[in-house]
Structure 1
Amino acid sequence: MSIVEAEERTALPPSIRVRLAGPRDCGALAALLDDPAHAGEQVLAWLETPGTTLLVAQSEIGVLGVAVLLTRIMPKPGGGMHKVVEVDNLVVHPDQRGQRIGRRLLAAVVEWARQRRAAQVEVMVGDANRDARRFYEAFGFATEADRLVLAA
């Protein structure tokens, strides 16, 4: 059974399902990434890193997309701690874009986070990546705070 029972079942072929990734998916996931020389190594690192989860969208033709999730415990404003799930990467195969597969993956991410009692789901998207910003905003994400970064 898939992680998310599709609320949008009519919008997608029923053969598309979202599931947890495993080592057998390494080759298919590496093919989705931009850097083929290091993609296999990256996928293995994700699969082996505690707090990192990969969800894949799959159909009878194979893996169509992946969401890479990072789970961490963070301080809550006002005290205490809460669980946060960050979408580190969400990729759909270029030939499969425009079929709501990314939306299906993102719905699975939110459901997965809720099942684990996460307080929120976050994603970092640069201002220049307008398509990604529109995608996440259309799903309901809102800008909350800027993150300051310094190279180590």
Structure 2
Amino acid sequence: MRVSVVGGSRIDEATADTARELGRVLADRDHTVVTGGLGGVMEAVSAGAREHDGHTIGILPGYDRADANEHVEEAIATGIGHARNGLVVLNGDAVVAVDGASGTLSELGYAGIHDRPTAGLGTFDAPHVHAVETPTDAVDYVESRTL
């Protein structure tokens, strides 16, 4: 399954550790990681996935695929700025949010609109976001709603 991981582009080390662990768990369970392809949570989850031979896709806001972080295997340039947030969500079967700011909030909105099972690790409280404590809990939740 493809899991869209959304979250803050500027994060502290503890959040980066959480995102890396999430990437490792997703890879170990043979899920593809879809992100916005840049830094912060997007880079950390991609790094964790690649450490465990996972597959990563980055859907970029700009025109240049080379802008993707080094852990993105398949970069997709959109040239549509923040409007790409909807594409990040639509290209996953489920969503996991880690931390985040306004961009993450918009992605959570798209997740609700498109009825994607959504787990949240230290992120916004919304009716369709299931709060979890650990990366493993997040993956367990989205798997239970999609597989």
- Which of 1 and 2 has higher RCO (CA within 8 Å, sep 6+)? 2
Give TM-score, length-normalised by structure 2: 0.30
Give the structure with higher Rg (CA).
1
Q: Give the structure with the higher percent helix.
A: 2
**Greater strand share, structure number:** 1
